[in-house]
Chains A and B, each alone.
Chain A
């Protein structure tokens, strides 16, 4: 509607402007012609010795005044000496007190014109000057129907074109708006479907404009929503399943204690099992919470530029006993350390989880090596074990939540399938990358890289 009103206003303005310009040009032409003619006649009259009726007739008879409606010659007091529309004999002192005559008697050449109903009425009045004195006035008036008709035709044509243009614009606007709103309504309908949970719905819009791009972006968004929703459902399903298992075990064991008569040793054994399952449940819950916290905590609090060596050494110290108990040797090569920007707690958790996995999935008598490297601007932490390895088809899934290559072994060792998911989350949150390489029967290597921050670090950190 605004568009229509605006274009209409512009067209009306152009119409009026064009009409005015045409009219002005017509009048300009008329002015030149009329004033020139009047000046010519006045000049001839002025040449006479005496300004009277006879002089005026003499000059006028030699002049073509057929196109004029009236010609009047007055004296200096506006008394009419000659009037082309009145017979000479009936002339009495008649005074032409027309505004144009008064103006001309003051020495000014005057032209006025107006256009009405297809006729141009033009008036010119010029002084008759003899020597330096104004002795009279020549007044002429013309009613031009031919030029007036031309002007009217021109204005009518402009008006017609304006109206046709406006009608065309309105039709175009109606058509375009209908088409545009139809496509917008399609998108809105799709949004309502998405709101109701059908993320698989796609909006199909033709064309190659911004709405098409909007449609494509909308479809991409719904795809991501679908993936997100699938992941959420999978996670809830997995989490429920994982949590259900230890709970079922606890229930079974406690029911057994209550239902059957058992000796104290068996009861203690069952109680121990309940405790183990409870611990497993607790660990899983803590890891789930940690994962949730990682996803929701997007701030960059407590980031610091540190070397990795002190943190790695703390982890090794913590897990050395467990490694020793499993007859696994931990070796470290930490000379090529570089400063990185990271949350120290995250680095500890990452290292802890990877080293712990390296111990859990190692063989007795195996080794676990931890080394630091620098490649251009990246600081790399490499943790390699001589464990059972990961099958090639499982490599792409190891970082998924609850994924375990060997479920039986993982359960035995208390694994929940969340450790590597947590590690990947933390690495990526600290702008790092993690990769895994493995050969079944030979071992697995985890490579974690972070961008270097070559700034001054506190000396006690090193």
Chain B
């Protein structure tokens, strides 16, 4: 009797494992919370979020994204009170308009933040490029907007390949 029950349990477990689980996780890209990056492989890493559905409206998702990470191993790159103003899909480009607080960023910190937004958007939308600008076109590293693609963000150097 015990053996039969055990076999039944194992069968149930296997079958439940085989069923297709709907992919409800959303990946938000944030920089690592570590002060030095050398020990980590990537500067920007994905946080898997199960509190958001991928089928939600992209504006709602990006609003959640701008609120920052939940896990302590990440940090938010956005200045305080940064919010999403608008999201527009123009052909294969996704335009992200943020509040002017975002313009407080500069240099490599701005690029890291933009890279995070780009990689996050590219997983949520079938766009090829992401353009980021502020509500009142504030300068971002001397430019009115920053456009990134997946190829324009190099997180790892694969040039040294062993032959």
Residues in A lying within 8 Å of B, measured CB to CB:
69-70, 76-80, 85, 92-100, 102-103, 105, 110, 112, 116-117, 119, 121, 123, 139, 141-143, 145
Given contacts A70-B159, A97-B43, A99-B41, 11 further A-B contacts (CB under 8 A): A69-B160, A76-B108, A80-B154, A93-B146, A95-B148, A95-B153, A95-B154, A98-B154, A103-B36, A103-B37, A112-B38
The answer, yes or no, to whether B44 is at the interface (CB within 8 Å) is: yes
Contact assessment for A99 and B153 in the assembled complex, using a CB-CB cutoff below 8 Å: no
Q: A94 with B151: in contact, given A110-B38, A119-B162 (CB under 8 Å)?
A: yes
Residues A117 and B162 in contact, CB atoms below 8 Å apart: yes
Q: What is the 8 Å Cβ interface bit string for chain B, positions 51-78, against chain A (1 contact, 0 not)?
A: 0000000000000000000000000000
A105's nearest neighbour on chain B, judged by CB, is: B108
Contact B153 A123 (CB under 8 A): no
With A77-B141, A110-B38, A112-B38 known as contacts, the answer to whether A98 contacts B156 (CB < 8 A) is: yes
Distance in Å: Cβ of B129 to nearest Cβ of chain A = 11
List the one stretch of B14-22, B95-103, B110-118 in contact with chain A.
B110-118
Measured in the bound complex, the distance between the Cα atoms of B162 and A121 in whole Å is 9
B141: nearest chain-A partner, CB-CB: A77
Q: Do B43 and A94 have beta carbons less than 8 Å apart?
A: no
Report Cα–Cα, A103/B43, bound state, in Å: 10
Note all chain B residues with C-beta closer than 8 A to A103.
Answer: 36-38
Cβ-defined partner of B152 (8 Å) among A95, A98, A110, A141: A95
Which residues on B sit within 8 Å (CB–CB) of A76?
107-108
The complex places the Cα of A79 from the Cα of B146 at a distance, in Å, of 12
A117 — which chain B residues lie within 8 A by C-beta?
162
Does residue B40 face the partner (Cβ distance < 8 Å to A)?
yes
Residue of A nearest to B143 (CB): A93
Instruction: Evaluate whether A102 and B108 lie within 8 angstroms (CB atoms) in the complex, with A92-B152, A95-B152, A95-B153 already known.
Output: yes
| A70: B residues at CB distance < 8 A | 157, 159-160
Q: Given the complex of chains A and B, what is the CA–CA distance between A385 and B15 in angstroms?
A: 117
Residues of chain B from 122 to 163 with CB closer than 8 A to chain A in the complex: 141, 146-148, 151-157, 159-162
Residues of A within 8 A of B161 (CB): 143
A77–B159 CB distance below 8 A: no
**Most B Cβ at <10 Å: residue of A93, A95, A103, A145:** A95
Chain B residues with CB below 8 A from A116, complex form: 162
A143 in contact with B152 (CB, 8 Å) = no
Give the size category of B's interface with A. Answer: 20 to 34
> Do A69 and B159 touch across chains, with their CB atoms under 8 A apart?
yes
Does A100 lie within 8 Å of B38, measured CB to CB? Answer: yes
Report the bound CA distance from A80 to B108 in whole Å. 12
B111 touches A77 (CB 8 A): yes
A462 → chain B closest CB, angstroms: 97
The answer to whether B157 and A98 touch across the interface, beta carbons within 8 angstroms, is yes
Give the dominant DSSP class at B's interface. loop
A-B contact pairs, 20 of them (CB 8 A): A70-B160, A77-B110, A77-B141, A78-B108, A92-B152, A95-B153, A95-B154, A96-B154, A97-B115, A97-B154, A97-B155, A98-B43, A98-B155, A99-B38, A103-B36, A112-B38, A116-B162, A119-B162, A139-B157, A141-B157
| Interchain residue pairs A-B with the least CB separation, the first 7 | A99-B37, A143-B160, A70-B159, A69-B160, A97-B43, A94-B152, A102-B37
B residues whose Cβ falls under 8 Å from a Cβ of A = 36-44, 106-108, 110-112, 115, 141, 146-148, 151-157, 159-162
Report the bound CA distance from A102 to B155 in whole Å.
11
Residue contact B160 to A142, C-beta cutoff 8 Å: yes
Residues of B close to A98: CB separation below 8 A: 43, 154-157
Contacts of B152 in A (CB 8 A): 92-95
A91 to chain B, nearest CB (A): 10
A148 to chain B, nearest CB (A): 9
User: How distant is B116 from chain A, measured CB to nearest CB, in Å?
Assistant: 10
Give the complex CA separation of A103 and B108 in angstroms.
11
Name the residue on A nearest B140 (C-beta). A77
Give the residues in chain A near B146, CB-CB below 8 Å.
93
Residues of chain B lying within 8 A (CB to CB) of residue A97: 43-44, 111-112, 115, 153-155
* Bound-state Cα–Cα, A76 to B108, Å: 7
CA–CA, A95 and B113, complex, Å = 12
* A141 vs chain B, min Cβ distance (A): 5
- With both beta carbons as reference points, the residue of chain A lying nearest to B40 in the complex is identified as A99
Assembly CA distance A117 to B161 (angstroms) = 12
Assembled-state Cα–Cα distance A105/B42 (Å): 16
How far is A79 from B159 in the complex, measured between Cα atoms in Å? Answer: 18
**Quick one: given A94-B152, A95-B154, are A121 and B160 in contact (CB under 8 Å)?**
yes
Q: B6 to nearest A CB, angstroms? A: 40
